[in-house]
């Protein structure tokens, strides 16, 4: 028997249960991983709340972790028992002592990166990789806007953008978070609690606005993002921290300057084992080289996952949060 977090109904953090369960034997193309550290992410709250419905209830939770391979299926060729591995794209069930998942969803973890680092960076780091290197490939010299620049994804984006020679303008909610974003490499910050973001973007860019806005906040920042991007620019809406963007009239894109909008997901970019490993290798190289530091600011026992999610949802966290089995 092992321990895991599950939920039987949708709701707030209080629906999460810490229970005993029997881990499955891996299927032919599956690997069973003994988790050493588990990542906490906003997307976990979407599944818990029902914004993203899980395949069935009761359901496990979490899609990110790192550990050691303890069993492999009969057709697994890429991994063996004892390998250090990490994952960031599910399937659901990472909030557990052990997790069974397809070999295509795993990557080999270099010895130079700890399990805690990997669990704190896989989903967020791979997200930043596809955002900055694929969705809108930054070449260096651009000025961009990135919402929630002091959060887990934002903290990594600030560092990666600086390493690329990009001026990142980050939105934050307090002077403390502004200082954190600047320390991580943000070129400028805008405190949306008392500053007009679109107006400040205009001022910071000498009236040009930005070619791309990265928006993981969603509903609350949608119009601000449209008002901050230059004509024929791109709004990358990649998250729903404040709720989903809905009811969009496409006419607003023409009215704001013939804008482009995309709603990408990690799964679409890491759609093969080869693509996933390639993206992870670039992420790991950034960490090993020292260009990217993984800020794990909060650690909770797995049993306290509900408390950890409550803190995350209340925006009382910075950097990455991990759960420890």
Query: Nearest to residue 118, comparing CAs of 248, 281, 291?
Result: 281
Q: pLDDT tens, 90-103?
A: 899 999 999 999 99
| Nearest Cα to Cα of residue 176 among 297, 263, 308 | 297
What local confidence, expressed as pLDDT, does residue 164 receive?
A: 98
Segment 135-153 mean pLDDT: 95
What pLDDT score does 231 carry? 98
How many Å apart are CA 52 and CA 37, to the nearest integer?
24
The two three-digit tokens of residue 32, written as one number: 């069973």
Task: Find residue 146's DSSP bridge partners.
Answer: 170, 214
Assess contact for 70 and 53: CB atoms under 8 A: no
Calculate the dihedral angle through the C-alpha atoms of 268, 271, 274, 279, rounding to the nearest 10 degrees: 30
The Cα-based distances of 38 to 22, 85, 96 in angstroms read 19, 12, 8
pLDDT tens figures, 66-96: 999 999 999 999 999 999 999 998 899 999 9
Which of the 8 DSSP states describes residue 36? Answer: E
All residues at 6 or more sequence positions from 74 whose CB lies less than 8 Å from its CB, including other chains: 28
Entry field: residues in the chain: 325
Read off the pLDDT of each residue in 193-221 and give the average, rounded to a whole number.
96
pLDDT value for 102: 97
The pTM of this model reads 0.89
Average pLDDT over residues 183-199: 97
pLDDT at 130 over 90: yes
Q: Is the pLDDT of residue 241 over 80?
A: no
pLDDT attached to residue 111: 96
Domains in the chain, ordered, with CATH?
A: 2-121+294-324 (3.90.180.10), 140-263 (3.40.50.720)
Quote the crossing angle between the two packed helices 152-164 and 115-130, to the nearest 10°. 70
Q: Give Cβ neighbours of residue 316 (< 8 Å, ≥ 6 apart).
A: none
234-245 as b/e, with b when 16 or more CB fall inside 10 Å? Answer: bbbbbbbbbeeb
- State yes or no: pLDDT of 200 exceeds 80: yes
* Amino acid 4: pLDDT: 98
Q: Does residue 303 surpass a pLDDT of 90?
A: yes
SS3 track for 177-220: HHHHHHHCCCCEEEECCCCCHHHHHHHHCCCCCEEEEEECCCHH
∠ Cα 59 6 308 (to 5°): 125
CA–CA dist 141, 80 (Å, integer): 43
Asked if residue 160 lies in contact with residue 142, where contact means CB atoms within 8 angstroms, the answer is: no
Give percent of the chain above pLDDT 70: 100
Cα–Cα dist 158/100, whole Å: 33
The full DSSP string for 219-238 is GGGHHHHHHHEEEEEEEEE-
Selected residue with higher pLDDT from 233 and 318: 233
């Amino acid at each position: 028997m092992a321990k895991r977090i599950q939920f039987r109904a949708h709701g707030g953090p209080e629906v999460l249960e810490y229970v005993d369960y029997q881990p499955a034997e891996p299927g032919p193309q599956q690997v069973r991983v003994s988790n050493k550290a588990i990542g906490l992410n906003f997307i976990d709250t979407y599944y818990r709340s029902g914004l993203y419905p899980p395949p069935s209830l009761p359901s496990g939770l979490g899609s990110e972790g790192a550990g050691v391979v303890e069993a492999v299926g009969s057709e697994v060729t890429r991994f063996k028992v004892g390998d250090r591995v990490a994952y960031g794209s599910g399937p659901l069930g990472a909030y557990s002592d052990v997790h069974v998942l397809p070999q295509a969803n795993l990557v080999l973890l270099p010895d130079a990166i700890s399990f805690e680092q990997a669990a704190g960076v896989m989903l967020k780091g791979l997200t930043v990789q596809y955002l900055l290197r694929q969705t809108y490939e930054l070449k260096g010299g651009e000025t961009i806007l990135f919402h929630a620049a002091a959060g887990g994804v934002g903290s990594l984006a600030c560092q990666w953008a600086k390493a690329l020679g990009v001026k990142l303008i980050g939105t934050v909610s307090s002077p403390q978070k502004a200082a954190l974003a600047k320390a991580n490499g943000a070129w400028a910050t805008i405190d949306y609690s008392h500053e007009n973001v679109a107006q400040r973007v205009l001022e910071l860019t000498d009236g040009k606005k930005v070619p791309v806005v990265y928006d993981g906040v969603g509903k609350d920042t949608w119009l601000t993002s449209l008002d901050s991007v230059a004509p024929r620019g791109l709004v990358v809406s990649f998250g729903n921290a404040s709720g989903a963007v809905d009811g969009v009239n496409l006419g607003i894109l023409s009215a704001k300057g013939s804008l482009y909008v995309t709603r990408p997901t990690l799964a679409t970019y890491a759609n093969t084992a080869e693509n996933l490993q390639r993206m992870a290798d670039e992420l790991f190289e950034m960490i090993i080289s020292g260009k990217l530091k993984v800020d794990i600011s909060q650690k909770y026992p797995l049993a306290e996952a509900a408390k950890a999610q409550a803190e995350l949802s209340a925006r009382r966290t910075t950097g990455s949060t991990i759960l420890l089995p």
